[in-house]
Amino acid sequence: MPGLIGFYTFGEGRENWDASQIIHYGLSALQGRGQESISLATIGPGNTLHTLGGKGGVEEFFQKNKTSIPKGFIGIGQTSSYLDDYLVHVKTPYELVLALDGKTDLHEDRGEATKLFARQLSQLLHSEKEPLKATSMLINKIGGGYSFVALTHKQELVTGRNPLGVKPLETGSVGFDIGAVASETCALDVMGIDHTGPVETGEVIMFTPEDIRGNAPTTDRGNFCSYEYVYLARLDSNVNTLSVARVRNRVGRELAKAHPSKGDVVIGVPETALPIANGYSQESGIPQEPGFMRTGENVRAALKPTQKERLVGVQLKLNPVKSAFEDRDVVLVDDSVVRGNTLQNTVLNLKRDGARQVHVRIGSPALVSPCPYGVEIPPRDELISGNLDEKELANNVGADSISFMTVEELQHAIGLPRQNLCMRCFEKGGTTR
């Protein structure tokens, strides 16, 4: 689930910009989309592409590589939840560096599929007289669900979103001097760039030293990832013109109406589920209190590659505030349940520290299928909801009850037509729509 950044400067004085510093800010905002590897590429006078990549989080990377960060006035960057997932550098026949969020259908392995896409883009930019048209033809030919940004040795920045539109991509500008793209609007905000709208489904945009050009996007409204609204996107972002904060509040309200529970206090699991818990509290009338404190940096435990790292991440972000729930019945609100280890640990801590009962309410349907487009949802046999019903799951994690939203309830809360939402991870059949 990489987070992508593209930064482009125009006009006289562009050589004075430090693209790597601006990309640093943007990637910091996208850290929630991946904390395992980071890479960036810039280009400056001389049209030489400079790249650098490394393991770990954004701040760690930039601190460790202070003296070797490539300088330039245009650039791209990527932070990823995959280990050793870096920008793809193709040197011939047309030199480019590419970052891709999602997965094409060119290969079963996501990394290999991205490399094949980069090579085909290189071939087309080399052979075709109209690179914008050629890139548009490419994303209409290559299936899957993905968005991408590429930087070429000719100071071109090419970005697009395939017609399915599963993966988000947003554009921004500062007057006539700067253009940018990012996976989420929060990154544009942090970079000090005005949001101008989403890259549409099937749209390709090309930045050159002379201008910005785009193709006519497809008329299809897309098949947007519903999990972005539940968990992936940051709270201060807009995704496909919808405020993530408002959607999560509506999810909580819908959850309270459809799956009520008696309780003395509503507690949300930090950080993603807090606005869902707030909506649940507002709709149910049960007061919400902060039930956990985080230690250290915000870690998305569910995206960690090993069980040990996931459990450590949970412990760091879920230290209980005992006074919030001691000798009380708790409505525990979370955004989703993957393997069940996090939920089991959370319920155990609440009851060990004095909660009488814990009723779990989940702001999404049960995860029962892996994602074909690169979201780190495990195989079906590792998804606890794929093997247990709600009563069995409650017994397994030690809760007094557990209830999930239905697909229809989540769609209603998001507010987009059903045909425009991808919910394959919530459906055992795995259908696209």
Residue range 118-163, pLDDT digits in tens: 999 999 999 998 889 989 999 999 999 999 999 999 999 999 999 9
| Residues 194 and 330 both lie in one domain | no
pLDDT of residue 431: 43
Asked if 96 contacts 121 with a C-beta cutoff of 8 angstroms, the reply is yes
CB-count burial class (<10 Å; 0-12, 13-18, 19+) for 5: buried
Asked if 369 contacts 305 with a C-beta cutoff of 8 angstroms, the reply is no
Q: Which two tokens stand for residue 53?
A: 């990549």
User: Residue ranges of the alpha helices (H) in 259-356?
Assistant: 274-284, 307-317, 341-352
On whether residue 278 sits in a domain, the answer given is yes
| Residues 113 and 18 both lie in one domain | yes
| Residues 178 and 271 both lie in one domain | no
pLDDT of residue 432: 40
Averaged pLDDT for residues 379-394: 92
Picking from 106, 131, 51, the residue whose alpha carbon sits closest to that of residue 374 is: 106
| Residues 45 and 151 both lie in one domain | yes
| Residues 235 and 205 both lie in one domain | no
On whether residue 432 sits in a domain, the answer given is no
pLDDT of residue 296: 67
Q: Answer yes or no: is pLDDT of 433 > 50.
A: no
| Residues 217 and 105 both lie in one domain | yes
* CA torsion angle 158 164 168 173 (round to 10): 40
* Lowest-confidence pick of 166-175, 208-217, 241-250: 208-217
On whether residue 50 sits in a domain, the answer given is yes
Looking at 178, 194, 221, the residue that finishes a domain is: 221
**pTM greater than 0.85 (yes/no):** yes
Q: How far apart are CA 351 and CA 400, in angstroms?
A: 11
| Residues 283 and 420 both lie in one domain | yes
Of residues 405 and 430, the one with the higher pLDDT is 405
Domain with residue 293: its CATH number is: 3.40.50.2020
Q: How far apart are CA 24 and CA 47, in angstroms?
A: 21
Looking at 221, 250, 279, the residue that finishes a domain is: 221
Residue span of the structural domain in which 311 resides: 226-426
Q: Which two tokens stand for residue 51?
A: 């790249």
Q: How far apart are CA 302 and CA 361, in angstroms?
A: 18
Of residues 46 and 363, the one with the higher pLDDT is 363
Q: How far apart are CA 323 and CA 336, in angstroms?
A: 25
On whether residue 195 sits in a domain, the answer given is yes
Looking at 161, 187, 221, the residue that finishes a domain is: 221
Asked if 3 contacts 186 with a C-beta cutoff of 8 angstroms, the reply is no
On whether residue 85 sits in a domain, the answer given is yes
pLDDT of residue 387: 86
Amino acid identity of residue 294, one-letter, is: R
Please state the domain count of the chain.
Answer: 2
290 contact partners, CB below 8 Å, separation of at least 6: 267, 321, 324
Q: How far apart are CA 188 and CA 183, in angstroms?
A: 9
| Residues 207 and 244 both lie in one domain | no
On whether residue 431 sits in a domain, the answer given is no
Helix axes 274-284, 244-258, angle to 10 degrees: 50
| Residues 192 and 282 both lie in one domain | no
| Residues 247 and 200 both lie in one domain | no
Domain with residue 118: its CATH number is: 3.60.20.10
pLDDT of residue 430: 52
User: Residue ranges of the alpha helices (H) in 192-268?
Assistant: 226-227, 244-258
On whether residue 433 sits in a domain, the answer given is no
| Residues 9 and 44 both lie in one domain | yes
| Residues 212 and 231 both lie in one domain | no
Bridge partners of 4? 78
